[in-house]
Amino acid sequence: MIDLIEKARKTHSLEKDEITALLRDSGSTADLLAAADEVRSLFVGPAVHLRALIEFSNYCRNNCCYCGIRRDNRQAQRYRLSVKDIIAHVDAAARAGYKTIVLQSGEDVYFTVDRLTRIIRAIKERDMAVTLSIGEKTYEEYKAYKQAGADRYLLRIETTDKALYHRLDPGMSWDNRLRCLTDLKRLGYETGSGSMVGLPGQSIDSIADDILFFKQMDIDMAGIGPFIPHAQTPLADARGRELTLSLKTMALTRLLLPDINIPATTAMEALDPNGRIIALQSGANVVMPNITAEEYRKKYELYPGKAGEGRAFVSERGRIESKITAIGRTIGQEKGFRGEFLKGK
Ligand code: SAM
């Protein structure tokens, strides 16, 4: 296993059977995570980029079996922020020193191209980077957001196992999700994808395929997190909660794509109070503090334990900063685009 880790560290390339061997082996976990930390340090440096996350609507037209805000969850209390309220959140984030806003929501048709482009332009007027995470759209919609100034887009492929995807995402098409990612790349977005780890029916083989998919697509960001079952979904009784396997998947992604942005995901923090710091020491270099007002944040419950992360209010940015500096890292002062660190060297 040590030889395989060395190979990945030096060549940033592994065969599928080598990835599955590392994912299956428990004895080499610490070495794997340490190698990812070293590669992170060499290719993206010590800075942790903080992106302010605004969850602006939990209305969703989709019915993903794993997700707490799925359309058929009648117990979810739906909310959407007004354009004015979203911009008020942006102003608060700017005052707190954030350089990037991440706008995330369910697939809410209320947010037309006109409303979204107004919000994007307002953020650009404040000289901040904009990341969108609002699901599957047409090429024309993606183009309109780009022209309004959007910089990045996050759309997880969720799993590259097509049959599993179609079981878990009824009414959706894996090919369309791939089409979206291809369109986003073509339009010049910094394109992020990612996956959930520990889905019922997901094999180690398919997790290796996910990692190779990120490499083959040359994605710019990878959000990888454990699947956590939500009581009001069809997967309520599934096991999930695979923190170590998620960390290993993230670490292998860092080894194969050394210069990309990798967030320490909230779902990792939901499973371990120190989850994001562990992730930052295992290949991650981004944190997305949730700055959504508390009354809404509780309602954006994709999985249990997520709102508990609500300690990261705008005003508490200092608390996160001190946790990051305590592990010898710095806070990114730039917008944190891919390749920024290597260019500055
Ligand atoms: N609607 C947008 C989309 O589809 O990309 C963005 C919002 S969606 C709720 C954000 C991500 O939450 C999904 O890509 C999925 O990976 C993650 N997620 C949903 N339910 C989850 C669960 N039970 N456990 C862990 N992650 C979950």
* pLDDT above 70: residue 308: no
Ligand 1 neighbour 270 (Cβ under 6 A): no
User: In this predicted model, which residue has the larger pLDDT, 35 or 318?
Assistant: 35
CATH of the domain at 216: 3.20.20.70
pLDDT (tens digit, 9 = 90+) per residue, 169-179? 999 999 999 99
* pLDDT above 90: residue 311: no
> Which residue's alpha carbon is nearest to atom 14 within ligand 1?
156
Average of per-residue pLDDT values in the chain: 96
Ligand 1: distance of its center to the CA of 296 in Å?
17
Ligand 1 neighbour 225 (Cβ under 6 A): yes
Task: Give, for ligand 1, the residue of 57, 66, 137 to mutate: max count of ligand atoms closer than 8 Å to Cβ.
Answer: 66
Rounded to whole angstroms, the Cα distance separating 48 from 57 reads 27
Contacts of 241 (CB under 8 A, 6+ apart): 198, 226, 227, 228, 229, 271
Residue 102: give the domain boundaries.
2-343
Rounded to whole angstroms, the Cα distance separating 337 from 136 reads 23
Counting the structural domains of the chain, the total is 1
pLDDT at 146: 98
pLDDT (tens digit, 9 = 90+) per residue, 223-252? 999 999 999 999 999 999 999 999 999 999
> Confidence band (pLDDT; 50, 70, 90) for 345?
confident
Q: pTM for the complete prediction?
A: 0.97
* pLDDT above 80: residue 73: yes
CA angle 284, 289, 293 (to 5 degrees): 165
277 CB burial (10 A radius; 0-12, 13-18, 19+): buried
The CA distances from residue 342 to 44, 193, 339, 345, in Å, are 7, 22, 5, 5
Task: Give, for ligand 1, the residue of 156, 265, 269, 309 to mutate: max count of ligand atoms closer than 8 Å to Cβ.
Answer: 156
Ligand 1 neighbour 199 (Cβ under 6 A): no
Ligand 1 neighbour 67 (Cβ under 6 A): yes
